[in-house]
A and B are shown apart, each in its own frame.
Chain A
Amino acid sequence: MVPHVATLAPRQGIYVHVPYCLSVCPYCDFNVYVGGASDVEPYLDAVLVEARARAGEMREPSGTIFLGGGTPSLIAPAVLRGFLDELRSILPVQPDAEITLEANPETVSVASLRGYRAAGVNRLSLGVQSFAPHVLAALGRAHTPAQASAAVASARDAGFGNVSLDLIFGAPGETREDWSSTLEQAVALDVDHVSCYGLTIEDGTAFGSAVARGRMQPPDEDDLASKYEAACDALPLRHYEISNWGEPSRHNLIYWTQGDYLGLGAGAHSHRDGVRSWNRKLPRAYAADPAAARDGSETLDDAGRAREWLQLRLRLVDGVDLPEAARRLGHELATNPVERAGLATRNGDALVLTRRGILLENEVVLRLGAA
């Protein structure tokens, strides 16, 4: 029997936020700003200052380092190598740690990828989003489908054994056929991991204001549902989390299992033993005093922490261990309202979402009283 995916999660991780992109995509509401390599280098120095100041927060050696963004592949390989070496000298990191770099296909080459590999990066997450040219254009992406395929090949050439693709479905103008074809091409590239996210319209983005002004239709619920189901049917990889397939991302598993992570950089989020905190968002404000970057925090009480555990655990396809849920919540979980509605079923001691339940996960959380 395959052990529950949660058992693969390390207890400690490190996240480094790189808040720069060459241009900001119209759907993106992450903490990103227009910037290039010249902005990144001084910024990384600030991150190291923060790391030194916060080294004491780590309770054990980290099992992961995740460089997210933004566009972390704006960092030159040699610079990254220096940065990671320094980071590992400041913070304890396990020798076999999963070290992920997010990269945009148009910013990498075999040479740069070799450099990243040599710097210690062992997992590459490519922001491919789609293989349909008009969908890439609608999403404001700068790369072509060919560049995306080439990036995967280059990663293999450079020795990456763990390559992941990010895909987005439901973009304006994307047909069901566009999405099927995107899935087929992703499968054909034989990557180790795929993340699929439905397009969401967020306030403060170009899409957000276009929808608010009636210039753009928000994604259609039925279209999104059908495309999600198409992904479930098409991907020959282990579906281990609502939006993720393949060799599980150990770093993301830390999030879903309430593990500890030290979030470094502008706007980065951290978690340590029930205390969630976040840094100042503006890179300039952050860099002014990186040792005192914390902008806010919240501490969950035991009940809140138990409900959050349940919320997160529901995202994992292996499901919720009901005896453990009862222990954490202090009472048996009333599963009848979700089972009766066909949203979840029992699998031994586990409560597992059905496909319909996965699509209606918020409803499941609300019905289980976990909100």
Chain B
Amino acid sequence: MPTDQRLQRDFCIVAHVDHGKSTLADRLLEVTHAVDDRQMRAQYLDTMDLERERGITIKAAAARINYEAKDGKTYVLNLIDTPGHVDFSYEVSRALNACDGAVLLVDASQGIEAQTLANLHLAIEADLQIIPVINKIDLPAAQPEKIANELKQVIGCTDDEIIFVSGKTGEGVTELLEAIVEKVPPPSGDPLGPTRALIFDSMYDSYRGVITYVRVVDGEIHKGGRVRMMATGAEHDVEEIGFLTPQPVPVDSLGAGEVGYLITGIKNVREARVGDTVTDARARAPQALPGYRDAKPMVFAGLYPAQGDDYPQLRDALDRLQLNDASLVFEPETSKALGFGFRCGFLGLLHMEITQERLEREFSLELVVTAPNVAYRLYMTDGTESGVRNPSEMPDPSRLERIEEPMVSAMVLSPTDYVGTIMDLCMTRRGVLDGMHYLSTDRVELKYRLPLSEIIFDFFDQLKARTRGYASLDYEPVGYQAADLVRVDILLHGDTVDAFSAIVHREKAQIYGRNMVDRLRKLIPRQMFDVPVQAAIGSRIISRETIKAKRKDVLSKCYGGDITRKRKLLEKQKKGKRRMKQIGSVEVPQEAFIAALQVGEIEEPE
């Protein structure tokens, strides 16, 4: 028997990475005894080790809480967890759409951050009831009044609407639960209508296949029934259905307003896309729930095994990751410099880093990753259009009419002291100021329109460095725009090294070229002959250095007849030579390649 909608509250917590969301969630579960004390471990909702270490949530999950309110009734509170990073804003928006209310959680010493503000906007767009909460009031550095003023400014609430809590001590948690019951409206779907459930997350489990997290909006889903994914058209039998406490508890049906999981024997998360609508295959809903779109990769990079022999292992590992990550895309590519590998697409830089880290950690692969780039749109003189995801594929400029690059709308929140340095940074990154808005006398919101390519390098690190870590950033894609872009090639001894080609703005080509040439000159050991290192746009050389020919080996003395040592030294050199990548006639050590591809060291022009 499904729960009466009037006794349900579906909500989420919107917060910045370290503002204490997971700790507060733990406290809610603890106060309502949703989790046995025995099972209680810190940060319950984060299930992946990696999330635990990085302190971020990359997979949303949910928890069903029974709460006996002061009005004497027992309510079912469904807490839906949201991912907390810019790369996953689409997933966030889907999770928000599965809720009727949002707890806006702000650290009492830090104040509201860009990410939180962005998610707050998403929550307001999704028509959620916002409950402002100030957390960590137990901290010595807490400034609850100041932060309260900021909140009032941002969401226009009154003082007595703000709840002060400490996830650490549990203070204020009961008040928060009461506020959720009072203020968050109950679900308003049609319990008797055709079934529609929103997929707000999914994960792959090697035993059970894909586990889909849903919020039923209308109708019911029954165990043993047949469901259809409205966007992909996939149909499956419901093997198991249940809710999360957060442990899975199987039930016979989930009714309108209920949040839970669904196991149907789907083997790939691609078939159960976040944002898709689940309906009854036999009594289909006429219309899907609004808001579905494909997660589109924004950032691309070549992933190559450090040892060429590991190529099949890398392919298998990517296949495995893709089972659990619908937004990861990859296709084989071949680089003259790096051999066989894959061009992979990611939602953003963090997504790329996480994927790389998982490949290295979970699959013990040693990787060479090319510098990330964005996807460009090319309009050719013959009227055709195409896309480029790998700079080395860019055609000859004479055939190009124009190139368009993806743009983002970025929001930076910062103390007012740093406005100047942030503006400088955005200017060198070809940013255009879209607006400026004071949250309080000492905190400001800056809106910039920037090329995505300019923020996938070290923009975030630079921003943090220039503001002593106080600024926060959020961005969203806002389409494509034409720009004066050129491909800069790097040549070693006359041969183009495809892995180092980059598409950059014409004005920055010189700096990029000089930087790479200088870096390679320092990294590549001297060869048996002079090696020119050049940067070129087409056939025009824009920078040049020479690695002088090697003149002398280290000659070791065969002292006292210790021939063994000398021979071992030579054997070691021989092994080292085998690890070299051969670029034309030049031998480049693997380490030099990796170092040259490191991002984040591109110097700003003086």
Contacts and interface: CB of A to CB of B under 8 A. Distances in A.
Interface string B532-572: 00000000000000001011111111111111101101110
Nearest to A226: B551
A365 B570 contact: yes
Interface in A54-71: 68
A263 B551 contact: no
A371 B550 contact: no
Given A255-B558, A268-B560, A371 B553 contact: no
A198 interface: yes
A361 B559 CA distance: 17
A360 interface: yes
Given A263-B561, A269-B564, A298-B564, A359 B553 contact: yes
Given A366-B573, A371-B570, A200 B563 contact: no
B528 interface: yes
Given A198-B554, A254-B561, A270-B561, 18 more contacts: A17-B560, A30-B560, A68-B559, A68-B560, A197-B555, A200-B555, A222-B552, A255-B563, A269-B562, A278-B564, A311-B566, A311-B570, A360-B528, A360-B552, A362-B554, A362-B573, A363-B528, A363-B553
Contacts of B564: 269, 276, 278, 298
Contacts of A242: 555
B563 A225 contact: no
20 contacts: A30-B560, A68-B559, A221-B550, A221-B551, A222-B552, A243-B557, A252-B558, A261-B561, A267-B560, A269-B563, A271-B561, A276-B564, A311-B567, A360-B551, A361-B553, A362-B570, A363-B553, A366-B570, A366-B577, A371-B570
A226 to B, nearest CB: 8
Given A311-B566, A371-B574, A269 B561 contact: yes
A256 B558 contact: yes
A359 B563 CA distance: 19
A242 B557 CA distance: 10
A240 interface: no
A271 B553 CA distance: 26
B9 interface: no
B526 interface: yes
Given A341-B528, A366-B577, A359 B552 contact: yes
Interface string B568-595: 0111011001000000000000000000
Contacts of B560: 15, 17, 30, 68, 263, 267-269
Nearest to A297: B564
A243 B555 contact: yes
A278 B571 CA distance: 20
B577 A30 contact: no
A200 B559 contact: no
A101 interface: no
Contacts of B554: 198, 200, 362
Interface residues of A, number: 43
A160 B569 CA distance: 37
A274 to B, nearest CB: 11
Interface string A256-291: 100001010001111100001010000000000000
Closest 8 CB pairs of A and B: A225-B551, A362-B553, A371-B570, A225-B552, A371-B574, A269-B561, A359-B552, A269-B562
Contact of B559 (A30, A228, A256, A341): A30
A293 to B, nearest CB: 14
Contacts of B566: 311
A263 B526 CA distance: 38
A160 to B, nearest CB: 22
Interface of A: 15, 17, 30, 68, 197-198, 200, 221-222, 224-225, 228, 242-243, 252, 254-256, 261, 263, 267-271, 276, 278, 298, 308, 311-312, 315, 341, 356, 359-363, 365-366, 370-371
A49 to B, nearest CB: 20
B544 to A, nearest CB: 21
A292 B76 CA distance: 82
Of B528, B552, B553, B555, most buried by chain A (CB within 10 Å of CB) is B552
Q: Chain A at the B interface: mostly helix, strand, loop or mixed?
A: mixed
A243 B526 CA distance: 23
B555 A361 contact: yes
Interface string B128-156: 00000000000000000000000000000
Nearest to B577: A366
Contacts of B555: 197-198, 200, 242-243, 361-362
Nearest to A202: B556
B561 A224 contact: no
A255 B551 contact: no
Nearest to B553: A362
A332 B219 CA distance: 84
Contacts of A371: 567, 570-571, 573-574
B561 A228 contact: no
A311 B556 CA distance: 12
Contacts of B570: 311, 362, 365-366, 370-371
Contacts of A221: 526, 550-552
A359 B551 contact: yes
Chain A CB count within 10 A is highest, among B554, B559, B560, for: B560
A299 to B, nearest CB: 11
Nearest to A367: B528
A360 B553 contact: yes
A267 B562 CA distance: 10
Contacts of B574: 366, 371
A365 B569 CA distance: 12
Interface in B297-319: none
Contacts of A356: 551
Nearest to A265: B560
A366 B559 CA distance: 21
B569 to A, nearest CB: 8
B550 A360 contact: yes
Nearest to B556: A200
Most chain A CB neighbours (cut-off 10 Å) among B526, B567, B569: B567
A253 B560 CA distance: 12
Contacts of A276: 563-564
A360 B558 CA distance: 16
Contacts of B548: 222
A298 B571 CA distance: 15
Given A366-B570, A366-B573, A371-B571, A278 B562 contact: yes
Contacts of B567: 308, 311, 371
Contacts of A15: 560-561
A252 B551 CA distance: 26
A312 B563 contact: yes
Nearest to B529: A341
Nearest to B572: A371
Contacts of B528: 341, 360, 363
Contacts of A228: 552
A258 to B, nearest CB: 8
Contacts of B550: 221, 360, 363
A9 to B, nearest CB: 13
Nearest to B569: A362
B372 to A, nearest CB: 32
Which of B555, B557, B558, B571 is the most central at the interface, judged by chain A CB atoms within 10 Å of its CB?
A: B555
A202 to B, nearest CB: 9
A181 B222 CA distance: 97
Nearest to A268: B560
A252 B552 CA distance: 23
Contacts of B562: 269, 278
Contacts of A269: 560-564
A371 B577 CA distance: 11
A153 B574 CA distance: 46
Nearest to A227: B552
A252 B569 CA distance: 20
A229 to B, nearest CB: 9
